Amino acid sequence: MLTYPAIDPIAIQIGPLKIHWYGIMYLVGFAAAWWLGARRARQPGSGWTPAQMSDLIFYGALGAVLGGRIGYTLFYASDKFFSDPLMIFRVWEGGMSFHGGFLGVLFAMFVYAQKQRRKFFDVMDFLAPLTPIGLGAGRLGNFINGELWGRVSDVPWAMVFPGAGSQPRHPSQLYEFFLEGIVLFLIVWFYSAKPRPRMAVSGVFALCYGAFRFIVEFARQPDSHLEFIAFGWLTMGQLLSTPMILLGVGLIWWAYTKNTESKSSIKQPG
């Protein structure tokens, strides 16, 4: 068994001002997306300018934060919201839903695509490789906060999390950091480095994220107020991930069998 590091969730405190690690992780994610996007936008034939890419990240960040918080409230904490409506604004306390953020980003990208007169999936295909670093950073924030821990386990790397009882548990936040952050980034980044049919990059992202999340949910403790929602094993995270898996398969199938218009892509920067 490993010892949980018990990092203070507050990274910096100056008087009444508190800067939480969870918030810093979001900034890391947005900064990484901006840097990676600018790197690709500068490549010849990318079809993007750094200014357009900066606007894209702004729209994406807005959609992710608003959608993530609203999604968490609707999917996981509707009972708390009705008794404490202001909780929706206390983002620094944690409580963000990827699936809600995903829907928020889809809406934001639709608005952005309309404004820029671009095809929606050209925008999504450009954005997809920039996203996993932020997802991984968010999972590190969950780990630092000591939240969203795993199920009870006797694996050698299990940890006792504060507030989770005395039994060691899977550090499922780190599993998600590895799969949804590092592995997903490598897959989508290198896959998108070569020209792909429109929708294909978005499809790979949706399929891989949905599959990774579905798998990790078997090691993650279900939310106490929801528990298993069907079959004695299905969690809310798995239920919400299933449409993403189906969407990913559908987009990839459509891209390679029905979509005759290829997406312009650039080679991986060296």
- Identify the sign of the CA torsion 118, 119, 124, 130: negative
pLDDT band, residue 269 (cuts 50/70/90): very low
Is it the case that residue 68 has pLDDT exceeding 90? no
pTM of the model: 0.85
Q: What single-letter amino acid sits at 64? A: A
Instruction: Copy the structure tokens of residue 252.
Output: 């990839």
* pLDDT for the residue numbered 262: 52
Residue 186 burial (CB count, 10 A): 12
Q: Where are the domains of the chain?
A: 17-193
Lowest mean pLDDT among 41-50, 73-82, 133-142: 73-82
Is it the case that residue 268 has pLDDT exceeding 50? no
Measured between alpha carbons, how far is 177 from 174 in angstroms, rounded to an integer?
5
Instruction: Copy the structure tokens of residue 3.
Output: 């010892």
Instruction: Copy the structure tokens of residue 264.
Output: 């312009």
| pLDDT 10s digits, 238-259 | 998 999 999 999 999 999 998 6
Measured between alpha carbons, how far is 238 from 215 in angstroms, rounded to an integer?
8
| pLDDT 10s digits, 23-50 | 899 899 999 999 999 998 888 888 888 8
Residue partners of 221: CB distance under 8 A and separation at least 6: 148, 149, 150, 151, 164, 169, 172
Residue 3 burial (CB count, 10 A): 7
Residue with the larger pLDDT of the pair 205 and 99: 205
* pLDDT for the residue numbered 54: 85
Residue with the larger pLDDT of the pair 263 and 73: 73
* Inter-residue contact 183 to 25 (CB < 8 Å): no
Residue 239 burial (CB count, 10 A): 16
Residue 182: which of 134, 142, 241 has the closest Cα? Answer: 134
| pLDDT 10s digits, 89-132 | 666 565 677 778 888 999 999 999 999 999 999 999 999 999 99
Is it the case that residue 260 has pLDDT exceeding 70? no
Residue 130: which of 197, 67, 195, 58 has the closest Cα? Answer: 58
* pLDDT for the residue numbered 93: 60
Measured between alpha carbons, how far is 100 from 243 in angstroms, rounded to an integer?
13
- Identify the sign of the CA torsion 65, 73, 230, 143: positive
Instruction: Copy the structure tokens of residue 6.
Output: 């018990």
